Amino acid sequence: MKAFVVEKYGKDGARAAEVPEPTVGERDVLVKVSATSVNPLDKMVRNGEFKQLLKYKLPFVLGHDVAGVVTRVGSAVRGFAVGDEVYARPRDLRIGGFAEFIAIDMDDVAPKPASLTLREAAALPLVALAAWQVLVERAHVKPGQKVLVHAGAGGLGSTVIQLAKHLGATVATTTSTQTEELVRSLGADIVVDYTKEDFSTVLSGYDLVLDSLGGANLEKSLTVLKPGGLAISVVGPPDADFAKQLGAPGFMGLIMNTLSRKIRKRARTLGVRYEFLFMEANGAQLRELGALYDSGKLRPVIDSTFPFEQTLEAMAHVEQGRTKAGKVVIAMESENG
């Protein structure tokens, strides 16, 4: 089958290739991929940023999002049948959405939201799960709380705004002038145009900040939290819980804590908290999220769609910052969905 694989770590390490169709285990669902989408995580994995923790065997197929049709099920699979339209974020070490077929553990798969096309559904799994795991699992956001979402027009930010609003929060976001109208339409109550003002000078008293930019932006984010507030970053620096989540040896946890020592110390000084989030595959959560999309509480935001043959160009589009809003989708040309 055709696929895009990481042959070596680095910027030029991905290429098109012919690879064998995946083996289907007893708990696996074999999916004919209709569409996938690009995430910053694809670049990070391709570049080897997590190679000490995620031990991929080169070459491996890239791609963290999948929407498609079930073509085979393993002997232990329940709840899925050939012909079902599904979507998923396959678990780490079993990614491979940039291919014609992928075998996914049944626990990572969910029925595609009925109201969405396969292309729309392909834009969702990673960012929707990350949004859920930040707002519901980690922060336990409640009505009336204040949430700041950075980069609100991005794939993750646009999803977090909608889910935080659904949970009853007052939502602030940072974005550019061109996308201010979009983020307001998604539910943002307060919009800070980062090209004109510094969010840390106009916002205060927040319960939660979601950071997807890192660096100085993360440090400033700590200052807008109320006492006891929580800053969660999806770009790092990582902490010991990340190593534990991936089942890494104990010494890796010490290394992760060293990497995040400065920001954790700064948070303690300010009387707030810092956590790193590396989202996890979860089919049950995708079912709950699917119901929110079908009820109209959430909607996908898509920047552009590339044909499968232009997967590397789609990745470059994202890496070079040419995305205006939402996700970049990659579609198999034979699919209409």
Alpha-helix runs per DSSP H in the chain: 40-46, 118-122, 125-132, 155-166, 180-186, 199-202, 215-222, 240-245, 250-259, 261-270, 283-294, 311-319
The residues of the chain that CATH labels 3.90.180.10 are: 2-123+301-331
Task: Report how far Cα 74 is from the mean position of its chain's Cα atoms.
Answer: 27
Options 3.30.465.10, 3.40.50.720, 3.40.1030.10, 3.90.79.10; CATH for 127-276 is 3.40.50.720
Could you please report the per-residue DSSP string of 259-309? HTHHHHHHHHHHT-EEEE------HHHHHHHHHHHHTTS----EEEEEEGG
pLDDT string in tens for the chain (337-residue length): 999 999 999 999 999 999 999 999 999 999 999 999 999 999 999 999 989 889 999 999 999 999 999 999 999 999 999 999 999 999 999 999 999 999 999 999 999 999 999 999 999 999 999 999 999 999 999 999 999 999 999 999 999 999 999 999 999 999 999 999 999 999 999 999 999 999 999 999 999 999 999 999 999 999 999 999 999 999 989 988 888 888 888 888 888 889 899 999 999 999 999 999 999 999 999 999 999 999 999 999 999 999 999 999 999 999 998 999 999 999 997 544 4
pLDDT of residue 240: 85
CATH architecture of 2-123+301-331: Alpha-Beta Complex (3.90)
* Confidence (pLDDT) at 59: 97
Q: Which amino acid is at 136?
A: V
The pLDDT value given to residue 337: 43
| Angle formed at CA 227 by CA 270 and CA 222, multiple of 5 degrees | 50
CATH 3.40.50.720 maps onto the chain at: 127-276
At residue 336, the pLDDT reads 45
Q: What is the pLDDT of residue 249?
A: 84
Residues 6+ apart with CB under 8 A from 270: 222, 223, 225
